Amino acid sequence: MQIHSPTLQPVAVVTTSKNDVDHVVTEYGVAKLRGKTARERALALIGIAHPDFLEDLRQEARVRNLI
């Protein structure tokens, strides 16, 4: 019988569908995503990103026609 640990290994990968995510929390804020359009989701996530990455994220969202 194999006993499973209740924690993830350091190299474990965890994924979830974008439709399953209600909130994303960073040290820069909380993005509430449920019920939002792709444009609204992109803006909300950019809004809680590290300041060093904001302009790159905005530019990439423009390239992908999200904003």
At 5, the pLDDT band (50, 70, 90 cuts) reads low
13 CB neighbour count, 10 Å cutoff: 6
Q: How far apart, in whole angstroms, are the C-alpha atoms of residue 43 and residue 51?
A: 14
For residue 43, is pLDDT > 80? yes
Q: Work out the average pLDDT over 1-15.
A: 75
Backbone angles phi, psi at 59, to 5 degrees: -65, -45
Cα dist. 22→17, 19, 25, 66 in Å?
A: 11, 8, 10, 19
pTM for the complete prediction? 0.72
pLDDT of residue 14: 79
What local confidence, expressed as pLDDT, does residue 20 receive?
Answer: 79
Alpha-carbon distance of 28 to 64, in angstroms, equals 24
39-53 average pLDDT score: 95
